[in-house]
Amino acid sequence: MIADFSCIHSIVVLTGAGISAESGLSTFRLKDGLWDNHKVEDVATPEAFRRNPDQVHKFYNARRRQLNSVVPNAAHRALARFEQHFAGNFLLVTQNVDDLHDRAGSKNLIHMHGELLQSRCTDCGIIEKIVYDLSTESVCVRCQRTGTIRPNIVWFGEIPLAMETIYDALSQCDLFVSIGTSGNVYPAAGFFQQAKMAGAQTIELNLDPSEGASSFDDCHYGLATELVPDFFQLP
Ligand code: OAD
């Protein structure tokens, strides 16, 4: 499955939980995934945070701590290596809130659903890099208020980040590759259609067919650590 990148000028890659699965992080919807063991409405909505901030902090603190015991895998590394050597435009959009693409060395990277290693003050808006647990006792470094700090994660019902930049890139790309995502959550699940409208070739690399699989131009199924290094090779 060696792709011919010689006529490709602009690539958008979308990744989901499947790319981090072989690093040891749970997906959301596979058997025993995060949404099997937690209710979305208890931990991943603004209402949940208002109702029970301790429970929401506990969920994201546990996931943040888990980052200490995982490392980027061959798929994360292959994307970073490809970006470094590709002469055209390359944008990596991830739905993942882990930092594995960052640690692998990806540069033009958007975390559209936020980042576990960031907090945001709901009062003054400051975004801070964090490695520690958050709680209702956390104090904002800028406005000094207590109880206003939340994980900088996009919850259900909120607008994903950097959408203008993403749609711009989709409207100009000639190749769109979706990796390790089930295609259940919009707007990310609709990106391939935007890319298609722009005339791009659309490719899915995943363990199982996603919701939109039949509309992609080409699909390859297997493990991300095998498919991604195989696909993203330059001569
Ligand atoms: P899902 O859990 O919905 O889907 C994970 C996908 O990865 C599935 O299609 C699997 O087949 C595939 N997969 C699993 N292991 C893989 C492997 N080793 N190699 C390749 N593919 C593999 O996760 P997402 O699609 O990322 O949003 O979920 C999208 C959003 O839903 C998340 O960002 C999160 C969640 O609710 C928010 O929390 C806002």
Three state DSSP letters for the chain: CCCCCCCCCEEEEEECCHHHHCCCCCCCCCCCCHHHHCCHHHHCCHHHHHHCHHHHHHHHHHHHHHHHHCCCCHHHHHHHHHHHHCCCEEEEEECCCCCHHHHHCCCCEEECCEEEEEEEECCCCCEEECCCCCCCCCECCCCCCECCEEEEECCCCCCCCCHHHHHHHHHHCCEEEEECCCCCCCCHHHHHHHHHHCCCEEEEEECCCCCCHHHCCEEEECCHHHHHHHHCCCC
CA of 184 to the centre of ligand 1 (A): 9
Residue nearest to atom 22 of ligand 1 (CA): 18
Average pLDDT score over residue span 174-185: 97
198 has pLDDT over 70: yes
Ligand 1 pocket: which residues have CB below 6 Å?
A: 16-18, 21-22, 27-30, 33, 44, 95, 113, 154, 156, 180-182, 184-185, 206-208, 210, 223-224
CA of 182 to the centre of ligand 1 (A): 5
What's the predicted TM-score (pTM) here? Answer: 0.97
Average pLDDT score over residue span 26-53: 89
Query: Would you call 76 a catalytic residue per the annotation?
Result: no
Average pLDDT score over residue span 11-39: 91
pLDDT digit string, tens, across residues 212-222: 999 999 999 99
145 has pLDDT over 90: yes
